[in-house]
């Protein structure tokens, strides 16, 4: 028996294990599996299916007067279908236009399905065609990407190093051919108009995002930026203004030791201890505190008005005790003076939440809504590097405070 062969799919075939011994006992194997029911030197396969494919082996014993040996024959069976009677089917490209970017490399793929043929010689290539001529494009060798009993899918590629205006005027043709005939699929390149617009849009969006981020950072750190500018500018706006004090501090003189905000610090502690410690000792401002700096004698109301006139800023520590007590007179007097004195600026400190009483003068109510307000946040605001003191410095006069850090 031949040691190899191919059998075309047909209703029935038989395999013979020929020998010189008459009717030997034969052992058959298919793909290494014993065919126990087959013992004769011929196998009748009957109708052929895919599972009949494989390697068949037959063994039988032959002997003479002095010795015996095993004889083996092998045949390779491959099941196939009938040759196709149709032309190739192009799977890619599936569209007739392709958007591309000028100046960029481009790869064009041509993929086709070929029906089965015993003598399989597929032809797959690209052509380019303009108004004058049709030329074959250098194409990579077709490679099989999928194979079955009935067909095979082959793919090739053409590479353009750079897409030019001339390429936009060409027609690119995917060409597939077998022994039955050929099939083509044309594709036209089209410039991608949206690319420039996309870049412009992306650039605009990034610029706007950068501006918004810069604006947000500027808003968050505006006070620090101003203070840094003042540090390097070395400007002193207090020179020649004929003012004696940088700030007059007003607070409720009869507030309880523990404030309603739940802080362990009272308004007196803030006014008499922390303000001098930070604004005077650290940053060199001159403050006026009634309990500390008021000379004995004189009319109280007149003294308050005169002191406020000599001050560049008025700092008012607001609380329920303040707006409901006699100290609110100091805020009212300062508001009246500020209307005529452009160098006098008022700063409100919200020491704890309060409700405006009905008896509060209209001018004071209006001032509470328009004047700059800084919120005291209890122990969190105590350190000299806290946000509270940074805001205070922002509203204080610009001074050349050499020797203070």
C-alpha 60/C-alpha 76 separation (Å) is 18
Average pLDDT of span 269-273:
91
Tokens for 392?
A: 């205070």
C-alpha 110/C-alpha 116 separation (Å) is 19
Residue 176: pLDDT over 90 = yes
C-alpha 307/C-alpha 243 separation (Å) is 10
Tokens for 238?
A: 């207090």
The 10s digit of each residue's pLDDT in 385-394 is: 998 998 898 8
Percent of the chain exceeding pLDDT 90 equals 32
Contacts of 278 (CB under 8 A, 6+ apart): 384, 389, 392
Tokens for 379?
A: 């122990």
pLDDT, averaged across the chain: 82
Tokens for 310?
A: 């000599």
Question: What confidence score (pLDDT) does residue 1 get?
Answer: 41
C-alpha 176/C-alpha 89 separation (Å) is 8
C-alpha 383/C-alpha 309 separation (Å) is 31
Integer CA distances (angstroms), 10 to 17, 48, 376, in order: 21, 7, 99
310 pLDDT band (50/70/90 cuts)?
A: very high
Q: What letter would DSSP give residue 258? A: S
C-alpha 251/C-alpha 352 separation (Å) is 12
The 10s digit of each residue's pLDDT in 44-60 is: 777 777 777 888 888 88
Question: What confidence score (pLDDT) does residue 231 get?
Answer: 58
The 10s digit of each residue's pLDDT in 151-163 is: 899 999 999 999 9
Is the separation of the CB atoms in 115 and 151 below 8 Å?
yes
C-alpha 356/C-alpha 364 separation (Å) is 10
Residue 103: pLDDT over 50 = yes
Identify the three-state secondary structure at position 66: coil
pTM listed for this prediction: 0.48
Token pair 């003598």 is at which residue? Answer: 119
22 pLDDT band (50/70/90 cuts)?
A: low
Instruction: Give strand ranges (E) for 163-310.
Output: 171-177, 182-191, 245-250, 287-289
How many CB atoms lie under 10 A from the CB of residue 296? 4
Catalytic residue among 162, 330, 356, 358: 330
To the query of whether residue 330 is one of the catalytic residues in this protein, the response is yes
C-alpha 357/C-alpha 325 separation (Å) is 10
Contacts of 224 (CB under 8 A, 6+ apart): 390
The residue among 8, 9, 175 whose CA lies nearest residue 87 is 175
91 pLDDT band (50/70/90 cuts)?
A: very high
Residue 196: pLDDT over 70 = no
Is the separation of the CB atoms in 185 and 173 below 8 Å?
yes
The 10s digit of each residue's pLDDT in 114-126 is: 999 888 889 999 9
């Amino acid at each position: 028996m031949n040691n190899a062969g191919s059998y075309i799919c047909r209703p029935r075939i038989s395999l013979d294990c020929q020998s010189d011994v008459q009717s030997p006992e034969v052992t058959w194997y298919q793909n290494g599996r014993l065919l126990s029911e087959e013992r004769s030197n011929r196998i009748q396969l009957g109708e052929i299916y895919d599972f009949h494919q494989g390697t068949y082996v037959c063994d039988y014993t032959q002997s003479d007067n002095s010795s015996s040996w095993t004889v083996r024959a092998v045949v390779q069976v491959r099941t196939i279908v009938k040759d196709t009677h149709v032309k190739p089917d192009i799977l890619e490209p599936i569209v007739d236009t392709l958007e591309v970017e000028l100046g960029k490399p481009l790869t064009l793929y041509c993929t086709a399905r070929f029906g089965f043929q015993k003598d399989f010689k597929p032809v797959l290539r690209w052509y380019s065609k303009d108004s004058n001529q049709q030329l074959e494009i250098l194409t990579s060798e077709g490679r099989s990407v999928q194979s079955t009993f009935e067909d095979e899918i082959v793919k090739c590629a053409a590479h353009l190093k750079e897409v030019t205006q001339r390429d936009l005027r060409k027609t690119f043709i995917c060409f597939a051919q077998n022994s039955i005939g050929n099939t083509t699929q044309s594709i036209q390149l089209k410039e991608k108009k949206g690319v420039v617009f996309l870049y412009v849009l992306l650039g605009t969006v990034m610029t706007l995002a950068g501006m918004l981020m810069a604006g947000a950072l500027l808003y968050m750190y505006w006070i620090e930026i101003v203070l840094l500018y003042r540090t390097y500018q070395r400007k002193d706006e207090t020179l020649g203004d004929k003012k004696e004090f940088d700030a007059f501090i007003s607070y409720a003189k009869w507030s309880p030791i523990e404030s309603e905000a739940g802080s362990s610090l009272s308004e007196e502690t803030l006014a008499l201890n922390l303000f001098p410690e930070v604004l005077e000792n650290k940053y060199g401002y001159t403050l006026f505190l009634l309990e500390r700096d008021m000379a004995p004698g004189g009319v109280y109301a007149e003294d308050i008005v005169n002191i406020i006139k000599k001050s560049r800023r008025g700092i008012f520590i607001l609380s329920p005790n303040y707006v409901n007590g006699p100290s609110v007179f100091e805020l009212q007097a300062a508001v009246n003076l500020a209307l005529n004195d452009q160098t006098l600026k008022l700063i409100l400190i919200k020491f704890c939440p309060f409700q405006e009483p009905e008896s509060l003068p209209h001018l004071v109510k209006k001032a509470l809504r328009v004047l700059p307000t800084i919120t005291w946040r209890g122990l969190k605001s105590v350190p000299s590097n806290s946000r509270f003191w940074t805001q205070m410095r922002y509203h204080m006069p610009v001074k050349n405070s050499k020797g203070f850090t």
